[in-house]
Amino acid sequence: MEDWYETQIRVRYAETDKMGIVHHSNYLVWFELGRSEFCRARGFSYKEMEEKDNALLVVAEVYCRYKSPAYYEDVLTLRTKIAEIRSRSIRFIYEIYRPSDQTLLAEGETQHLVTDENKKVRTLPPSYKEKLLTEVADPNAFPENEAPH
């Protein structure tokens, strides 16, 4: 569970306040984006989990520590990884930083309970646990035994 999954974000005007600073509520939206992309990179979507396997990830806790502001047009990197998977819960952690000056802007975590469509807590289907714990291959790496000569 050491691998971070990175997603790029460009700050939109609508995400800023009158001072041109990103409003604090957007960080939670970005955390959701990070979780969704993390799952997609491992071969499934939230929608698939919900519709195919009746497993919903309900947010039970959210934490965000703001360290430095982000501004309109900033290009940011959102880093997401799994901190813990239990039989009926998952904890994700996040970092948002600005690569142009290597500034850490925020860090946080979310705790999710796995429920069915009736909001009854249930066990995470094993196939998703396996996918969540799978390392994502570097898309820029050469396939094994196919490196250039």
Q: How far apart are CA 14 and CA 29, in angstroms?
A: 13
Report the distance separating Cα 48 and Cα 56, nearest Å: 10
What backbone torsions phi and psi does residue 127 show, to the nearest 5 degrees?
A: -65, -35
Task: Tell me if 144 is assigned to some domain.
Answer: no
DSSP string, 93-116: EEEEEETTTTEEEEEEEEEEEEE-
Q: Is residue 76 part of a domain?
A: yes
Each residue's pLDDT expressed in tens, for the chain with a length of 149 residues = 568 999 999 999 999 999 999 999 999 999 999 999 999 999 999 999 999 999 999 999 999 999 999 999 999 999 999 999 999 999 999 999 999 999 999 999 999 999 999 999 999 999 999 999 987 755 544 445 555 54
146, part of any domain: no
Q: Would you call 3 a catalytic residue per the annotation?
A: no
Q: Is-contact 43 97, C-beta < 8 A?
A: no
CATH at residue 91: 3.10.129.10
Is residue 72 situated within a structural domain? Answer: yes
Let me know if residue 140 belongs to a domain: no
Write down the pTM of the prediction: 0.88
Domain, as residue range, for 94: 5-132
Number of domains in the chain: 1
